[in-house]
């Protein structure tokens, strides 16, 4: 057995077992704390709401056990099981092997297979779990419309991007990875610019904020924070889900502030202002640009690594591929790199949590900390977010601090 095959199998087994073990820890921890509301929340969260959040978390975890196992078997079937090679050879009978059309068809075929494998989980999560706990507002018709829109949009954007990447990999000699990186970063910045006005409206309706008193309150906050936006909008999130949120999106003059209609229904004006102040904290502390910079460094490193592997026979052979070309290398690399980077998840989440604390601190200076605490408690309750996550599981999976820790920081500010 090739050495890299052994390394790959070891990484696949270790990552899968680690994810299953973390999920089991989280399951046991949530069930173990289901009987009582944590002391810090007893005045604001009922036992019924706490138990609903626990049951909601448990239901998602039980599905996750199956999803993790099937995902690992799927990766194994694609690689050492020979599906990738079979699909690659099948398309070679239609298009010239190694050509752009062949590469695009091969990668698109893998995307379709991945969608088919994920489909039962997506449907069960939406129409069984979310439905059972009162969050799903999606109909099968709307789900199908979203699927068609997403597929057409993905093809319209993704196929030209994929063609450009394959062309750069073929034409730019040994430094192709640097050219692909520059193109990729430019593309991501372009998406940030056009998403609010061209892409998001394809899926949701955005209406100008009509509440004049709330609008005046928010505009006063924006003036204090020195933030300029292209408008305040309400999104019809209730068309798909009962979950609520708020965010700002875009760059430059395209920045816009968006509230889910479900959020406006549940929070008082001062609480909405505090939530928005938190989001503005991310902007003022330049968290978005810091994350873009980190993404740029990470993608550059990964592309350099792919550039070092793309000509190595052992890389293909170790993963069950006899054919060697840029498309095959892209697919293999995208399949195996998550196995080796999953242990780094706590580092990324630690940075994200630091940013959340900084944004909370900023919000506490611009508004009343108590208003943000009240808003967060309502969001935890209404979104059925567990108040008792397993600490180690949370370290690996949660980009936000645990509820108790976050509220303790706010109350101390």
Amino acid 89: pLDDT: 95
Q: List, for residues 208-254, the tens digit of each pLDDT value.
A: 988 899 999 999 998 888 887 778 899 998 888 888 777 777 666 66
The rounded mean pLDDT for the chain is 93
Amino acid 101: pLDDT: 96
Amino acid 252: pLDDT: 65
The mean per-residue pLDDT over the stretch 376-388 comes to: 92
Amino acid 387: pLDDT: 94
SS3 234: strand
**Where exactly does CATH 3.30.2010.10 map onto the chain?**
204-266
∠ CA 306-311-313, nearest 5°, is 110
Round to whole Å and give the CA distance between 219 and 209. 11
More confident: 400 or 1: 400
| Residue 338 pLDDT exceeds 70 | yes
Contact 63, 409 (CB under 8 A): no
Alpha helices by DSSP H, listed for 79-139, are: 83-92, 100-124, 130-132
| Residue 312 pLDDT exceeds 70 | yes
Q: Name the pLDDT band for 198 (thresholds 50, 70, 90).
A: confident
Which residue among the candidates 130, 271, 360, 390 is catalytic per the annotation? 360
Amino acid 20: pLDDT: 98
Q: List, for residues 39-70, the tens digit of each pLDDT value.
A: 989 989 999 999 999 999 999 999 999 999 99
Q: Which fold has domain 204-266?
A: Zincin-like (3.30.2010)
Round to whole Å and give the CA distance between 342 and 18. 9
The mean per-residue pLDDT over the stretch 104-123 comes to: 96
Amino acid 394: pLDDT: 96
Provide the 8-state DSSP code for 259: E
Provide the 8-state DSSP code for 231: -
Amino acid 254: pLDDT: 63
The mean per-residue pLDDT over the stretch 140-150 comes to: 94
Amino acid 340: pLDDT: 95
- Per the listing, tokens 């893998």 go with 110
The four Cα atoms 326, 327, 329, 331 give a dihedral, to 10 degrees, of 160
Amino acid 52: pLDDT: 96
In degrees rounded to 5, what are phi and psi of residue 385? Answer: -85, 130
The mean per-residue pLDDT over the stretch 391-401 comes to: 96
Amino acid 226: pLDDT: 85
Number of H helices, E strands in the chain: 17, 4
The mean per-residue pLDDT over the stretch 338-356 comes to: 95
Round to whole Å and give the CA distance between 191 and 353. 25
Q: Name the pLDDT band for 353 (thresholds 50, 70, 90).
A: very high
The mean per-residue pLDDT over the stretch 70-80 comes to: 97
Q: List, for residues 259-299, the tens digit of each pLDDT value.
A: 898 888 889 999 999 999 998 999 889 998 899 999 999 99
The mean per-residue pLDDT over the stretch 161-187 comes to: 94
Q: How far is CA 152 from the centre of its chain?
A: 21
Question: pLDDT > 90: what percent of the chain?
Answer: 79
Which residue among the candidates 67, 130, 271, 279 is catalytic per the annotation? 279
Task: Pull the structure tokens for residue 66.
Answer: 């199956």
The reply to whether 360 belongs to the active site is yes
The reply to whether 390 belongs to the active site is no
Amino acid 253: pLDDT: 64
Amino acid 107: pLDDT: 96
Strands 206-208 and 232-235: antiparallel
Residue 384: left if φ>0, alpha if ψ -120 to 50, beta else—which one? Answer: left
């Amino acid at each position: 057995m090739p050495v890299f095959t052994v390394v790959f199998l070891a990484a696949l087994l270790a990552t899968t077992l680690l994810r299953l073990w973390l999920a089991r820890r989280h399951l046991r921890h949530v069930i173990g704390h289901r009987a009582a509301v944590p002391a810090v929340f007893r005045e604001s969260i009922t036992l019924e709401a706490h138990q609903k959040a626990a049951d909601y978390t448990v239901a998602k975890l039980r599905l996750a056990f199956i999803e993790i196992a099937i995902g690992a078997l799927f990766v194994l079937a694609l690689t050492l099981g020979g599906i990738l090679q079979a699909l690659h050879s099948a398309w070679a009978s239609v298009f010239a092997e190694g050509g752009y059309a062949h590469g695009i068809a091969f990668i698109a075929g893998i995307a379709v297979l991945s969608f088919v494998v994920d489909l039962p989980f997506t449907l069960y999560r939406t129409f069984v779990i979310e439905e059972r706990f009162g969050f799903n507002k999606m109909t099968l018709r709307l789900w199908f419309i979203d699927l068609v829109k997403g597929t057409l949009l993905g093809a319209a954007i993704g196929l030209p991007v994929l063609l450009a990447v394959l062309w750069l990999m073929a034409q730019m000699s040994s430094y192709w990875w640097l050219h692909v990186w520059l193109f990729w970063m430019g593309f991501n910045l372009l998406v940030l610019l056009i998403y609010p006005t061209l892409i998001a409206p394809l899926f949701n309706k955005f209406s100008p904020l009509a509440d004049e008193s709330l609008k005046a309150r928010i505009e006063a906050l924006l003036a204090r924070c020195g933030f300029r936006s292209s408008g305040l909008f309400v999104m019809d999130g209730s068309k798909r889900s009962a979950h609520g949120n708020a965010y700002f999106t875009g760059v430059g003059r395209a920045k816009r502030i968006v509230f889910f209609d479900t959020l406006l229904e549940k929070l008082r004006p001062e609480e909405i202002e505090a939530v928005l102040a938190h989001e503005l904290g991310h902007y003022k502390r330049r968290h978005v640009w810091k994350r873009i910079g980190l993404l740029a460094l990470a993608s550059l490193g990964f592309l350099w690594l792919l550039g070092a592997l793309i000509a190595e026979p052992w890389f293909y052979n170790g993963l069950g591929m006899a054919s060697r070309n840029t498309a095959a290398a892209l697919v293999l690399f995208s399949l195996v790199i998550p196995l080796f980077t999953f242990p780094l998840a706590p580092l990324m989440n630690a940075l994200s949590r630091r940013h959340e604390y900084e944004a909370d601190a900023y919000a506490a200076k611009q508004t009343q900390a108590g208003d943000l605490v009240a808003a967060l408690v309502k969001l935890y309750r209404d979104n059925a977010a567990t108040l008792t996550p397993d600490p180690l599981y949370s370290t690996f999976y949660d980009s936000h601090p645990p509820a108790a820790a976050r509220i303790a920081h706010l109350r101390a500010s």
